[in-house]
Amino acid sequence: MAQVLETAVRVMRDTGRRRLAEEIRGLLTSLASYMRFADRHRQRHGPRTRWRDGKGQWHVRGRVERFLEPALLLLLAERPAHGYELVDRVPELVPGERPELGGLYRVLRALEEDGLVKSEWDAEEPGPAKRMYELTPAGHELLRAWAKALRQTQQVVDAFLRRLEGR
C-alpha cells in the first residue's frame, strides 16, 4: 500500500497536480489506516452470522440476505410512505431490525431508478418537505417475484428443519 501511495503522489507531482497529490495522499493514508484496523478486528468466522458468547455458547443470526428490498416493496404496496415512516415500519416485518437510514434510502433510490418505485416531494405536512414513495405496477410485479422466491426459500428451510427434527 505504501508503494501505491508514493507512486500516486509522485505521478501527481510530476504532472503539476500538487493539490490533487496531497488529497490522494490523505485518502490513501486513511484507507491504509482503516485496513489495518479491519485486519486487527476481523473475526475468523463471519461475526454477522455466528459467534460464541463469553460462556462458549454458540449463537447464530439466521437471516434472509437482502430482505430490506422485499420488505420495502410490501410496505409500499400497503400504502405510500416517506423514508422515516418506512424505517419505523420495517421492524413489523423483521423484529429487532431497524435499518440504517442511509441504507434504506440507497435501496429506495435503486428501486426508483429501475422504475419500481416513484416519489415526489410532500410539503403538506408540518416541518420540512419529505419525499413520499409509492409502488409502481412494475414494483407490484417484483413484489410477487420476491414472494415466489421467499416461498421457495421457506421450502428449503422447512425441509432442513424436518430433517433435523427427524434425526
Average pLDDT value for the chain: 82
Read off the pLDDT band of 6 (50, 70, 90).
low
Cβ–Cβ contacts within 10 Å for residue 56, how many?
A: 6
pLDDT confidence of 148, banded at 50, 70, 90?
Answer: very high
Ranges of each domain in the chain: 2-38, 68-165
pLDDT at 75: 98
Per-residue confidence (pLDDT) for residue 29, from 0 to 100: 62
Considering the entire predicted model, what is its pTM? 0.65
Q: Name the residue type at position 77.
A: A
C-alpha cell at 29: 493514508
Give the pLDDT of residue 60: 78
Q: How far apart are CA 120 and CA 134, in angstroms?
A: 9
Domain 68-165 architecture: Orthogonal Bundle (1.10)
- Provide the β-strand partners of residue 59: 51
Q: Place 28 in a pLDDT band, splitting at 50, 70 and 90.
A: low
Contacts of 70 (CB under 8 A, 6+ apart): 143, 146, 147, 150
